[in-house]
Structure 1
Amino acid sequence: MRLTVFGATGGIGQEIVKQGLAASHQVTAVVRDPSRFTVTGPGLEVFRSDLADPQALCPAVAGRDAVLSGLGARKKTDAGIATRLTRSVLEAMEAAGTRRLLVVSAGPLGPVPERQPLVDRAVLSVVKSVLRDVYADLRVMEDELARSATDWTSVRPPRLLDRPLTGSYRTVVGGTPRSGRTIGRADVAHAMLAMIDDPATLKHGVGVAY
């Protein structure tokens, strides 16, 4: 497949690129600063852009089978960035006629599972309070997805870890894995790539966790 990856210098974005190349996909990595991007390999194109101009992004998404985005806040003060940058991606995709889009959101945006232990509910409440601006931004981003013409999927992980790929995790379309507290960035990338051709995930949030 021909894939485009936004946020390719981030933890999940880099993993999507690496795993995509390992699976023999043609990958376009969109980055603002190529000096921060160290991934190399056959089938890789590096596309430099600051994402401010949707029209300038059209060549990066035109003719692609799917677009995958790891864009989002890296700290609390970045709240608002996910919506702003995703709007640019959506406008570029709609102008280019590219439909499949998978983005990283967050587990707390999904529904609370039935019979969720009280300790998990308490932790979730604290996390939502501390990161409320970040989650508000992601909620607006998901609203933008729902209004778009794309075939979108919003992937919702809990707390992210830096650990090797396992390929062993739970996914719940339209829901949240019970007591799913963590997941590695490499496994989030693996899940996103696996969902590209899964029609059950179209226009849904998907909870993913160990």
Structure 2
Amino acid sequence: MKVLVFGGSGRTGKELILQLLAHGHIVTAVVRHPGDLGLRYERLQVVEGDALKPESFDAALEGNDAVLSTLGVSGFFNSLRPMTFYRDSIAAIIDRMQVREVRRLVLVSSVGVRDDPSTPIWYRTIVRPMLRHKYENMRQMEQRVAASGLAWTIVRAARLVDGPLTQRYRIGDDGSLTNVTKVSRSDLADFMAREVQDAKRIGRAVAISY
């Protein structure tokens, strides 16, 4: 497959690119600063672009079979502020995918978008209120994806950590899991790289955690 990746210069995005290449795909990475990617492979093309500026990546979508996105707001303090990045970036991506007739979309969200009573009380009383703006913007992103008419899969990740590829993660096909803990970026990338060719979960938001 020919696939286009947004967010490739981030830690999860780089791992996703490597795993897509390992699966034999031809990858185009759209990044704001190509020099930050630090990856060079025969089947990897790097395009300078901004997810909030559709004209910067529109041409790169031509001829691709799927889009994968690990885009997100990073940094603790940035995550506490009101934001529109998730909603606005996915709106631009969806619009250009529809124009270019690229149907398959796999993207990262968070298990935090759902109010799960099984999560620890410290998370529900401290962390969730602190990240309320981020989670609300992610919910808006998910709503736009669900209404897009594309062949989409939303991957709601547990807390992301650096760690090895284990392939021993749990998937919640209804969009949630009990006893959510964490998941490595490598394992999240593994699931996404496999999911892009799998039609079983099209039209679903799924959760991933150890």
Fold-level similarity (TM above 0.5) = yes
The aligned residue for residue 59 of structure 2 is 59
Cα–Cα, structure 1 residues 64 and 50, in superposed 2: closer, same or farther, change >3 Å?
Answer: same
**Aligned-pair distance for 1:45?**
0.3
The aligned residue for residue 27 of structure 1 is 27
Question: How many angstroms apart in 1 are the aligned matches of 2:31 and 2:90?
Answer: 14
The aligned residue for residue 209 of structure 1 is 209
**Aligned-pair distance for 1:63?**
1.9
The 8 Å contact of residues 175 and 204 in structure 2, kept in 1 or not, is answered as no
Q: Please, which moves more after superposition, 178-187 or 77-86?
A: 77-86
The aligned residue for residue 103 of structure 1 is 107
Equivalent position amino acid for 1:10 in 2:
G
**Aligned-pair distance for 1:88?**
1.2
Question: How many angstroms apart in 2 are the aligned matches of 1:175 and 1:51?
Answer: 25
Equivalent position amino acid for 2:88 in 1:
R
The aligned residue for residue 161 of structure 1 is 161
Aligned residue pairs total: 205
The aligned residue for residue 41 of structure 1 is 41
Q: Percentage identity across aligned positions?
A: 33
Cα–Cα, structure 1 residues 78 and 104, in superposed 2: closer, same or farther, change >3 Å?
Answer: farther
- Structure 1: where are the runs of 5+ without partners? none
TM-score normalised by length of structure 2: 0.91
The aligned residue for residue 6 of structure 1 is 6
Cα–Cα, structure 1 residues 123 and 60, in superposed 2: closer, same or farther, change >3 Å?
Answer: farther
**SS of aligned partner of 1:199:** coil
The 8 Å contact of residues 173 and 200 in structure 1, kept in 2 or not, is answered as no
The partner residue of 1:88 within 89, 92, 98 is 92
**SS of aligned partner of 2:102:** coil
Question: How many angstroms apart in 2 are the aligned matches of 1:159 and 1:123?
Answer: 15
The 8 Å contact of residues 68 and 107 in structure 2, kept in 1 or not, is answered as yes
Equivalent position amino acid for 1:196 in 2:
V
Question: How many angstroms apart in 2 are the aligned matches of 1:175 and 1:145?
Answer: 14
How large is the Cα RMSD of the aligned pairs?
Answer: 1.6
Cα–Cα, structure 1 residues 136 and 59, in superposed 2: closer, same or farther, change >3 Å?
Answer: same
**Aligned-pair distance for 1:175?**
2.8
Question: How many angstroms apart in 2 are the aligned matches of 1:140 and 1:43?
Answer: 34
Alpha-carbon displacement from aligned partner over 1:145-174 (angstroms, at most 9, x marks no partner):
011121111100111101121111011112
The 8 Å contact of residues 50 and 56 in structure 2, kept in 1 or not, is answered as no
- Structure 2: where are the runs of 5+ without partners? none
The 8 Å contact of residues 107 and 158 in structure 1, kept in 2 or not, is answered as yes
**Aligned-pair distance for 1:78?**
7.3
Cα–Cα, structure 1 residues 202 and 124, in superposed 2: closer, same or farther, change >3 Å?
Answer: farther
The partner residue of 2:83 within 75, 79, 85 is 79
Cα–Cα, structure 1 residues 190 and 111, in superposed 2: closer, same or farther, change >3 Å?
Answer: farther
Cα–Cα, structure 1 residues 78 and 72, in superposed 2: closer, same or farther, change >3 Å?
Answer: farther
The aligned residue for residue 148 of structure 1 is 148
Cα–Cα, structure 1 residues 101 and 8, in superposed 2: closer, same or farther, change >3 Å?
Answer: same
Question: How many angstroms apart in 1 are the aligned matches of 2:132 and 2:20?
Answer: 33
